[in-house]
Amino acid sequence: MRDSTKLIILYALAALFVGLYLFHDLNGSYDYALPRRGVKVAAMAVTGIAIAYATVVFQTITQNRILTPSIMGLDSLYMLLQTLIIFFLGSTHITVVNKQVNFLLSVAAMIIFALLLYQLLFKKGNRPVYFLLLVGIIVGTFFGSISTFLQVLIDPNEFLTVQDAMFASFNNVNADLVWLSIAVVAVCIIIGWRQLRIMDVISLGRDISMNLGVPYDRMVRGTLILSAVLIAVSTALVGPITFFGLIVANLSYQFIKSYKHSFTITAAAGLSMVLLIGGQWVVERIFTFSTTLSVVIEFAGGVYFIYLLLKESRSA
């Protein structure tokens, strides 16, 4: 089957899940339930597309299909920021109560952190990408340790607010933030989509790319910043989803045989919408909210991550 045919089937399945989620068991509540379901579908779609694009291009740069942008410590920084706000300011402060302020503060903090990290590491010459990843792992572990320490000291009632931020949730998404996120993600995708042919060349490796005239270092920096913005927006909108990018990116590599990023990213985005929207429908209608979608994703992603590690070790 041709890749284009696979994509048509995939997006037809995504449209089926969207219609099922929007209109199943609506019982005439078009004015109340339908707009709220539409906001949740839009939030899941924009989150899935942002994570899918960021993960695929990040794995192209690192030449590793196990790594994800979360290894840079952005998820840990998000949790540290939420913990610091609750610890020092309390759960009734405007930065907690006002979702717009919290969203803008979280996105700004993650983007500034990423820019400072890239600037400090790249200004002293062309350091390898793996050096950047190593620093990201160390910084992420450091942030996680501080968050855990503060969460132990925090008031138990206040900790419930922090606990809500630990897991991604699509149930209480602010509509204004969804439209703002769509605008930011759309701009990033438009900018990144124009560079996909260059990413096809970069997938051949640093030396071959530079021999073919690709400004490799500049492309790496720009792509890392783009990935950081997308991950920052998706994380601030719904919360951290660590393994989701790993799942959809590797499934897209299995689903699409083409090396072109225009196909693999499109497939990853479609898979993300199918998994998120279909998974949320299953959680709400079958499991009746007895669990959350993020818990299922983390469990399945962890198992899949172990499978990929074992597969890589056997092939090596």
What DSSP string runs through 136-154?
A: HHHHHHHHHHHHHHHHHHS
pLDDT band at 126 (very low <50, low <70, confident <90, very high): low
Q: How far is CA 82 from the centre of its chain?
A: 18
Q: What angle do CA 77, 69, 282 make, to 5 degrees?
A: 90
What average pLDDT does range 1-6 have in this prediction?
89
- State the CB neighbour count (10 A cutoff) for residue 25: 9
- Please tell me the predicted confidence (pLDDT) of residue 287: 80
Distance CA 85, CA 101 (A): 12
CA distance linking residue 22 with residue 177, whole number of Å: 20
pTM: 0.90
Question: Of 3-7, 87-91, 98-102, 295-299, where does mean pLDDT reach its minimum?
Answer: 295-299
The pLDDT of residue 124: 61
Quick one: what percent of the chain has pLDDT higher than 70? 96
pLDDT of residue 16: 95
Q: 10 is written with which tokens?
A: 């995939």
